[in-house]
Amino acid sequence: MLQNLTNSIGTILETEYYDGIWDSIVGRTDRKQVERDIIDVLKQIQIFDGLSNRELRNFARISYQRTYAENETIVIEGQDSAGMYVILDGTVKVTRKAEDDSIITLKTLEDGTFFGDVGLLDSAPRTATVTAIRTSRIIGFFRPELLNLMESDPKLASKVIFVLAKVLASRLRFTNQELQKAQFENDRLRNLTKKTEKKAGDLHQSVEDFKLEIE
């Protein structure tokens, strides 16, 4: 399975990864402290649930860090995915372009939350744009390093894929629930419109009948 994923990825050209600004923690003089900080954050995130300290440390060692300024874009809707992101410190907003080109804010995310998790395994285009609301320190995990790690540790790979599947299944259930709510509301408004139109028609007929009576 991992080999198929590797073959399907090919060369990643996404600017969010190859812009030369992301800072690898490898070789940093404060590497051990940075690793500990990252591990403390990862322990709070569902996608890393059940991983041992050694496995979390291995993840920390393939992570990148970058600081985004206020209003700086992190990922762009429609751009190919390259990995996932964890907010070490900061606040971001997730937006999507509507059919009329207006921008809809879907949600805001803060310290210890993650986004772009599907990008760990799939290079499909981003479904939303993510922008820093204030100065934000972001951790990035990118597929080339991730796949190398998972190929060298099949047990870790199975854990990550299993948790990803649970996260995606939960998200799908939530989406289905929201769609059902939207459908219910749509049906309710349609029925209300029909009732209103009928009342308007009845009122119009009553007025016409009244006119005939007084003529």
Task: Quote the domain boundaries for residue 10.
Answer: 2-171
CATH number for the domain harbouring residue 14? 2.60.120.10
Q: How far apart are CA 25 and CA 37, in angstroms?
A: 12
Tens-binned pLDDT, residue by residue, of the chain (215 aa) = 444 443 433 333 344 444 445 666 555 556 677 788 888 888 888 778 788 888 888 888 888 888 999 999 999 998 888 888 999 899 999 998 888 888 888 889 998 888 887 777 677 788 889 999 999 999 888 888 888 887 888 888 777 777 777 777 766 665 566 556 666 666 667 777 766 766 666 565 565 555 555 66
The confidence score (pLDDT) of residue 8 equals 37
User: What total number of domains does the chain contain?
Assistant: 1
> Is residue 190 in some structural domain?
no
Tokens of 80: 């190919």
The confidence score (pLDDT) of residue 29 equals 56
> Is residue 197 in some structural domain?
no
> Is residue 114 in some structural domain?
yes
The confidence score (pLDDT) of residue 130 equals 94
The confidence score (pLDDT) of residue 18 equals 43
> Is residue 208 in some structural domain?
no
From its phi and psi, is residue 25 left (phi > 0), alpha (psi between -120 and 50) or beta? alpha
Task: With CA atoms as reference, report the closest residue to 136 among 111, 158, 117, 170.
Answer: 111
| Residue whose token pair is 């809809």 | 104
Q: At 24, is the secondary structure helix, strand, or coil?
A: strand
Q: Rg for the chain (alpha carbons), in Å?
A: 25
